[in-house]
Structure 1
């Protein structure tokens, strides 16, 4: 089996590579080759019996993916993206990376006759917005309130239509906000949701830019990676009639996040969080819904975290 991963140098891509190599198989087929694509060359782990090729590649360049697609990959994980705040700040950049490159990818699959290739894209809770019911389900109309969400929603529609036509076996997972991300804060509007936990747990200060009563729909990195792997194994026909849905996250307010941090790490950890309102970040994040009925995901065997404490404890256990 040959698996291609775009955005492979990102934290989610690297975790996916590690987990795939640990399993060694996908859908009862032995993984023989991994092609890792990103703007910078992704780390290449040691792996007996698996050919790993890491390539620095700009997916926005016309024809950039032709050689990879000509090799006939069995599975493509499309994780390459410009995150929310960056896409909002630079419309042209967001359109090139989040929409144009995705369209080029699925059109490339069509041109290379990859109808059986499983193409799995990571979408986002940001695809929703506007006036919404208290609890959403997978039939709730997409009304994104920012460019990032709009770009993801457009990609979902294209992937669904190409799949309907039998041109590719497309699958889209709408990801909740991922916490706790490792590393340092990035340009994502939701970056604070990790930093207000990660930094205090590491003995550092952090800034919370949103009201503490703000609710978010969240999922741990480990559960997201398992969902990506499971998503490639579920038969394509079971995704119909629309090939995108929300993963089973959990709803938690910022206040509940901080209280759970207190339970795990004590008052001193919570005291490291400063509250400095940022209207721009609040406007973006507050447009994302926080309550979902994820019956379809659970029916297809996707699993979420048990509670928010499990998310924090998983991060603590994984630290060096």
Structure 2
């Protein structure tokens, strides 16, 4: 067995780790629906376009969080001549539009921060145009640093010889942890579910793991029980889109059955979470029901014959009893 490297390696960043950035008068958002064919950034210039990017799943999970936060920066920049009261009203309106873009995501928790900073600026007679952006940038800098720290924690969870199953995509963190593990001479294998109907596992997770030179095998979503029964997996690591006070969480549809199978086969189940006490239990999470056409068509062509209905909940809820460990990210300001 090779000797472990105990030094702290540099982290190689995945494009999915920070997929939305301001440049000039536009927010550049990585179009994840085009990966792996090409890396293309969509120019977002206002709240309406930001909401469309979110609803159309052009970016997901953490990318949508970045879009939400930076849309406020766009709107402040777009309203250079507005009075303080008009700008405050605009910030509140932007928050309302973003909050309604996807019901399962906890956008209200972060938009409330921005509205709070705007109210603080008005209450303390501060310049809202400089105070709010400074708060947003400082907050995002803190989130970035804590995410990088979590990448290192994930790398610690990865042990030499592990065979890890993952579902959907965790916005760069698992792939970056895999890179660290390689630098430490750990030999890790990954099983990525294809994650229908958007194929995030096939298009994103397998792609970014290979970019990091990690060993990865793509499996059908309905092969999870088989690979676990055959002893091919000894660890599960997934992300989450919403967390509850009791530890329940919501993630991409299909995560619940993976957790049940991991429990059946006594396989450790790890989840990356953003803890919140806004929702008590998983039963209180509003699960988004997506357009059935996303299930009934592929590349705009029908995959069924005749009149067939479709049912596509975008998420399912995993009870905390099935979680071995939550690797948390503190998103508080």
Q: TM-score range by the shorter chain?
A: 0.3 to 0.5
Higher relative contact order, chain-length normalized (CA < 8 Å, sep 6+):
1
Q: Give the TM-score normalised by structure 2.
A: 0.31
Q: Which has the larger radius of gyration?
A: 2
Q: Give the TM-score normalised by structure 1.
A: 0.32
